[in-house]
Structure 1
């Protein structure tokens, strides 16, 4: 049976600087991060912009690398960045390597997390 994410694949040609390997140019394919998170029913009211804008996402990789994104960066009503949970790299499946977080709007590759193990979504605490 075909999953919802196989039907809603996005593709991005990206160019970013890697601190260890220099400039990298690749084509990534996979579902948009926001679609995957929304399908998991996050604990915010999707109809309320101010509620959505206080949420953050923390993504962890198999090598211990972690990064954080603001929900507003990927929300279609705010930044609308096409951040992917890539399942393909340059036409090859990432099945054995694991999915990769791809942030096409970044010039450096620091937020490209490989072999994703965990995506956490939570609200920024409201000051007392």
Structure 2
């Protein structure tokens, strides 16, 4: 199992191949755009990862209207460059978490512990 892959099709996410761009579901899980399109029925997607039934309503029945997981895409890009992830707000800290809060206004989703505890991402849903 690869580190950055869709849990439905097991294909690697991509920031270049639009069909494998990670899209965020209401529950916070991500699936690739291709799987989102295949799983959508009547503008609804059932999350296959959640232990409980979680449904995402897709605006206008177009999976491109689902939010891209920019934090994950940024992390993938950094890993491809083989650079350590640094927090944009606190350059001296490593970015240990990725904000997956659907309504997060921050453009940069990678964050350090200080951002998670005291910064713009306080109280947000995150992955570490």
TM over 0.5: no
* Structure with the largest fraction of helix: 2
- When normalised by structure 1's length, the TM-score is 0.31
- The normalised TM-score by structure 2 is 0.31
Structure with bigger RCO (C-alpha 8 Å, 6+ apart) = 1
